[in-house]
Amino acid sequence: MAEPRFTLHATDATTSARLGTFRTAHGAFTTPVFMPVGTRGTVKGVSPASLRTLGAEVVLANAYHLYLRPGADVVRDAGGVGRFSGWDRPMLTDSGGFQVFSLADTLRVSDEGVTFRSVYDGSSHAWTPEDNVRIQEDLGADIIMQLDVCPPHDAPEAEVAEAVRRSLLWARRCRDASIREDQALFGIVQGGVHPHLRKASAEGLAELDFPGYGIGGYSVGEPHDVMLDSLAPVVAALPSDRPRYLMGVGNPTTIVRAIALGVDMFDCVLPTRAGRLGTAFSSEGRLNLRNARFARDFGALDPACGCETCMTFTRAYLRHLVARKEMLGAMLLSAHNLHFLLDLVVRARAAIESGRYAAFEAEWLTSPGAADW
């Protein structure tokens, strides 16, 4: 029997938090893990070398965007998305389902697949689940995601139920179409904020025996408490010996709380998007560097942080860069925000290993850094 891809090393004594390792053809990564998002094959404003220095273990790219520009065949012929982008560690590609379904005015969907128009030039494209798997196999990431149906967070329950049915149908077809043994195909749970639909989706996917499971359809406008309340039974319904990936979540407090529920993997554009807008995570809470109060503040961005941005530059200088719209400001803040989340999951791992995750969570929730995003 082949060695399992995912190994659990420790579980917390009083929560469902877990410490594990997932093996890929490009190395192993430790969970819980936060994955920087490189949608078009690049994490905005942060080079691969900087990502390695920051401690990133996995980077995410998006199949929708790479399929349209430069084309999956170009990436394939370059040796895969890792070699194409200069990243020699594990990579994950999202299927692009969220992007396709966010363009509702150009979308047609049936059990067979989806037809949509490109955001770049308006050209028409059709994907079946099998097409999507072939695209991601060409892109060559270590982890690929099934094509699923992503309804809006306020969709009627009947529409969400139909999305669950169709996503399960497509999950089976994606699994049957997958042929690359060096890739791990994850299924994706849908169901909105309806516990019975989430449970049905999770149980149906578990029967298909994927090497890991994404949890999609969250962080799309619903309150975080609503998300977390409906997330707990979903996580409990998924196999305990496979990683659980909460897709599109980068709020530090939500990450800390979701780890306590047994979630292993996270990704989000929030840290780099916030950096480009002049906003920073910090142990003191959310910092808006556009604010004039930082104009003569010669202290570190976050005195509790050891990243290059905080060790080298003052708040006054960073505020100057942001106010003048200098490219360096967005780069430095993006790198700091990524370091903040990467360091947060490292500290979470240490707390799990020592059996004190409940205390770690409680300390975080009462800290200034837990300010709502």
Please identify every residue annotated as catalytic.
Answer: 94, 267
Interatomic CA distance for residues 286 and 283, integer angstroms: 8
Give backbone dihedrals phi and psi of 335, rounded to 5 degrees, phi first.
Answer: -65, -40
What single-letter amino acid sits at 241? D
Beta pairing partners, 213: 187, 244
Interatomic CA distance for residues 69 and 358, integer angstroms: 45
User: Which residue bears the tokens 């220095």?
Assistant: 53
User: Which residue bears the tokens 């996270």?
Assistant: 266
Closest among 238, 279, 292 to 261, alpha carbons compared: 238
Report the chain's terminal Cα–Cα distance, integer Å. Answer: 45
Cβ contacts of 155 within 8 Å, gap of 6 or more: 163, 192
The single-letter DSSP state of residue 300 is B
**Distance from the Cα of residue 361 to its chain's centroid:** 21
Torsion sign (Cα): 215, 217, 220, 224:
negative
DSSP per-residue string spanning 6-48 = EEEEEE-SSS--EEEEEEETTEEEEESEEEEB-TTSS-TT--H
